[in-house]
Structure 1
Amino acid sequence: MTDYLKLAAEVGEITRLAGAAIMEVYATEDFGVEHKADDSPLTRADKAANDVIVAGLEALDFQAPIISEEGKEMTYATRSQFTRFWLVDPLDGTKEFIKRNGDFTVNIALVESGKPILGAVYVPVTNELFYSAPGLGAWEVKEAGGKPSRIFAAAFTLQDVNLRIVASRSHLNQETQNFIDKFDRPELVQRGSSLKIMELAKGTAHVYPRLAPTMEWDTGAAHAILLEAGGKLVDDGTGKELRYNKESLLNPHFIAYGNVREELLAC
């Protein structure tokens, strides 16, 4: 029987190793920036982190296929046969990495039957690690070798005053602003990468609307952690939890919540 908390900690250590590879590139002058077909940036750090993660996951006793943003493209016919798999974003927040603002992360999720059940998110610049295991909570380790501590999403209602609403540093569009304007004197929190969802998971923010494109690997690890912290991440159109390993790996627009104490109909 799998010890998922032990596995989550092991995966967390893999994210640390990937983070170290990222920081080696971060310390240089040349990031080797390229652009993919969708015009999104790719750096030497993305590739280096991906190599570390793939090697680390393949060395685990627990084995599952790997779907990575920087891995080989896989057909849906192949992916649809997976009952569980690793979902990897080796460097989430490449634009933030290039800007050198620190808001980038390493992300690994274990997805089972369309749901992220285990996640690890590492922040290379601050050395913070977050991870979760199914039914065993969400955890934060503030420094290498530190003791893990449980984290919990903040409890609130949508009518509360001064809710902290998280927004992307790079994607604050008019639709998002309209959503934010529904709240009573909200406080805007701007973060990059999966750190936006981590703000909810550790109880320092309440709502994160993402009304712009993302991919499954952008959200999987943080979604798993948020669920174990008591939050939710739902399709903006249906109100249901995001599902993974769809025919298209593009996410629908979504809203992430901390421990909201009412139905979502108010927004």
Structure 2
Amino acid sequence: MLRTFEQAALEAGRAIIEVFCNGCQVEMKADASPVTIADQEAERIILAHLERDFPEIPVIAEESVAAGKVPDVAGKPFFLVDPLDGTREFLDKRQEFTVNIAYVENGIPIAGIVYAPALGIAFSGERGSAEKLAIDENFAVVERKQIRVRKQPAESLALASFRHDSPETGLFLTRHAISKCSNIGSSLKFCLLAEGKADVYPRFTRTMEWDTAAGDAVLRAAGGSTVTMDGQPLIYGKTGAAADFDFANPNFVSWGGTAPVLEQA
């Protein structure tokens, strides 16, 4: 499965970089988030790969959902796809945008890939094994390295969203005596935890499942964890909640290791 993910992500990344270099028009979706031809073309490429190799597995993909195409995934394994996570970074010519593909089984992200084409790196993980990949200018993998979360240090490094920080994040860091925090965009935050370069990522603003599933899969495969504020593992395939949108995440905290017992706000 990861082979298909890798091929799809690399091909999608090539299409994204072409648009990144040449520029494009921007449209706004109903939720006021931007979308470009790069998002749409990357999703088309990824869906073609998944439908070819796994035609029986439904796909929840960001742009398809925005267009009203939402297959029934209740009680089924399914894919989650964010073809271009960090569209605002992409438009601002920042390099932290990513391609994200994940496989979910019984509510758990089992396998995933996060590819940052402008940075020439990717992270993949599946069932207890995670890798960091180096990608060359021809969009080929030139190096693979096993990665693992680090032992929690005496002074933890936290990660926060570049664009979606919140007062709750500051309160969380204070309660847990964490003084060091770095801001970064997209799902790369999960990957920095997975490769042992940071320790915790609290998120108190809105995310959707396609934003987090691939990075979460990599993190869990590397020995990390993602939990809700009651200490339970973050699950996927959340639908039918009257108070929220389908596939919306609650607040969560990702850890580079086993999650400690969280203090409640």
TM-score (norm 1): 0.89
Verify the 8 A CA contact 1:9 1:131 in the aligned structure 2: no
Q: Which one of the candidate residues 118, 141, 145 is aligned to 1:145?
A: 141
Structure 2 counterpart SS, 1:118? strand
1:12 paired to 2:6: yes
1:250 paired to 2:248: yes
Q: Report matched runs for 1:20-39 at 5 Å.
A: 20-29=14-23, 31-39=24-32
Root-mean-square deviation (Å): 1.8
Could you tell me which runs of 5 or more consecutive residues in structure 2 were left unpaired when the two chains were aligned: 240-245
Q: Report matched runs for 1:15-164 at 5 Å.
A: 15-29=9-23, 31-60=24-53, 63-71=56-64, 72-74=67-69, 78-80=72-74, 82-135=75-128, 137-143=129-135, 144-156=140-152, 160-161=154-155, 163-164=156-157
Classify 1:61/1:170 alpha carbon distance in 2 versus 1 (closer, same or farther; 3 Å): closer
Residue identity matched to 1:18: A
User: How far apart, CA to CA, are the structure 1 residues paired with 2:262 and 2:29?
Assistant: 39
The residue number in structure 2 matching 1:3 is none
The residue number in structure 2 matching 1:4 is none
User: How far apart, CA to CA, are the structure 2 residues paired with 1:202 and 1:21?
Assistant: 27
Structure 2 counterpart SS, 1:230? coil
1:264 paired to 2:257: no
Residue 75 of structure 1: how far off its partner (Å): 5.2
Residue identity matched to 1:42: V
Structure 2 counterpart SS, 1:212? coil
Residue 185 of structure 1: how far off its partner (Å): 5.4
Structure 1 counterpart SS, 2:53? coil
Residue identity matched to 1:130: F
The residue number in structure 1 matching 2:183 is 190
Residue 148 of structure 1: how far off its partner (Å): 1.8
Residue identity matched to 1:113: N
User: How far apart, CA to CA, are the structure 1 residues paired with 2:188 and 2:100?
Assistant: 10
Residue identity matched to 2:149: A
Residue 186 of structure 1: how far off its partner (Å): 2.2
| Count of equivalent residues | 252
Residue identity matched to 2:196: G
User: How far apart, CA to CA, are the structure 1 residues paired with 2:178 and 2:247?
Assistant: 35
Structure 1 counterpart SS, 2:57? coil
Q: Deviations along 1:109-159, whole A, 9 cap, x unmatched? A: 001111110001100101211111124x011111233232111011116xx
Residue identity matched to 1:224: A
The residue number in structure 1 matching 2:242 is none
Verify the 8 A CA contact 2:4 2:50 in the aligned structure 1: no
Q: Deviations along 1:195-230, whole A, 9 cap, x unmatched? A: 111110111000000000000000011111100101
Structure 2 counterpart SS, 1:165? strand
Q: Percent identity?
A: 38
Structure 2 counterpart SS, 1:117? strand
Could you tell me which runs of 5 or more consecutive residues in structure 1 were left unpaired when the two chains were aligned: 1-6
Segments of 4+ moved more than 4 angstroms: none
Classify 1:61/1:242 alpha carbon distance in 2 versus 1 (closer, same or farther; 3 Å): closer
